Amino acid sequence: MTPLFEKPVWRLVGDRGALVEYGDSITPEINRKVRSMAMAIGKEHPRGIVEVIPTYRSLLIIYDPMETDVSHLQGELDSLEAHLDRLDIPPPRLVEIPVAYGGDFGPDIGFVAGFNELTVDEVVEIHSAAIYQIYMIGFTPGFPFLGGLSEQLHTPRLETPRALVPAGSVGIANNQTGIYPVASPGGWRLIGKTPLTLFVPSRRHPFLYEAGDLIKFVPITVEEYHAVAARGDG
Partner 1 sequence: METFLVLEPGAFTTIQDAGRYGYQQFGVPVSGALDEFSFRVANLLVGNDETAAALEITFQGPKLEALSECVVAVTGAETPIRVNARPEVGWRSFAVHKGDVITIRAAQRGIRSYVAVSGGILVPEIMGSRSTYVGAGLGGLDGRALVTGDTLFREQAAAVPSAVSLPERFRPALSSEIALRAIPGPQDDYFDRGIDDFYATSFTVSAKADRMGYRLVGPEIKFKGGAPQSIISEPSMPGAVQIPPDGSPIILLVEQTAGGYAKIATVISPDLDVIAQARPGDRVRFERIDLATAHGVHRAWREKLRVVREILQSGKSCVS
Please say which residue, 55 or 194, places its beta carbon nearer to partner 1. Answer: 55
Please say which residue, 91 or 201, places its beta carbon nearer to partner 1. Answer: 201
Residue 51 touches partner 1, criterion: CB under 8 A: yes
Neighbouring residues of 33: CB distance < 8 A, sequence distance ≥ 6:
4, 22, 23
Q: How far is the CB of 203 from partner 1 (least distance, A)?
A: 9
For residue 209, report the phi and psi dihedrals to the nearest 5 degrees.
-150, 165
Residue-wise over 191-223: b if at least 16 C-beta within 10 A, else e?
Answer: bbbbbbbbbbeeeeeebbbbbbbbbebebbeee
Q: How far is the CB of 221 from partner 1 (least distance, A)?
A: 30
DSSP 208: S
Please say which residue, 101 or 188, places its beta carbon nearer to partner 1. Answer: 188
Q: How far is the CB of 123 from partner 1 (least distance, A)?
A: 26
Q: How far is the CB of 102 from partner 1 (least distance, A)?
A: 27
Residue 66 touches partner 1, criterion: CB under 8 A: yes
Q: Let me know if 10 is exposed, middle or buried by CB neighbors in 10 A (0-12, 13-18, 19+).
A: middle
Please say which residue, 29 or 69, places its beta carbon nearer to partner 1. Answer: 69
Neighbouring residues of 179: CB distance < 8 A, sequence distance ≥ 6:
97, 143, 144, 168, 169, 170, 171, 194, 198
Q: How far is the CB of 140 from partner 1 (least distance, A)?
A: 6
Q: How far is the CB of 14 from partner 1 (least distance, A)?
A: 3
Q: Which residues inside 6-35 make contact with partner 1, applying CB under 8 A?
A: 11-17, 19, 24-26
On whether the CB atoms of residues 43 and 28 are closer than 8 A, the answer is no
How many Cα atoms sit within 13 Å of 222 on the Cβ side?
5
Cα distance between residue 48 and residue 120, in whole Å: 52
Q: Which residues inside 197-216 make contact with partner 1, applying CB under 8 A?
A: 201-202, 206-207, 210-211
Site string for partner 1, 134-173 (x = CB under 8 A): --xxxxxxxx-x----------------------------
**CA angle (140 as vertex; 139, 143 as ends), nearest 5:** 85
Please say which residue, 62 or 229, places its beta carbon nearer to partner 1. Answer: 62
Residue 126 touches partner 1, criterion: CB under 8 A: no
One-letter amino acid identity for 210?
Answer: E
| Interface residue list for partner 1 (CB under 8 A) | 11-17, 19, 24-26, 50-58, 60, 62, 65-66, 69-70, 136-143, 145, 182, 201-202, 206-207, 210-211
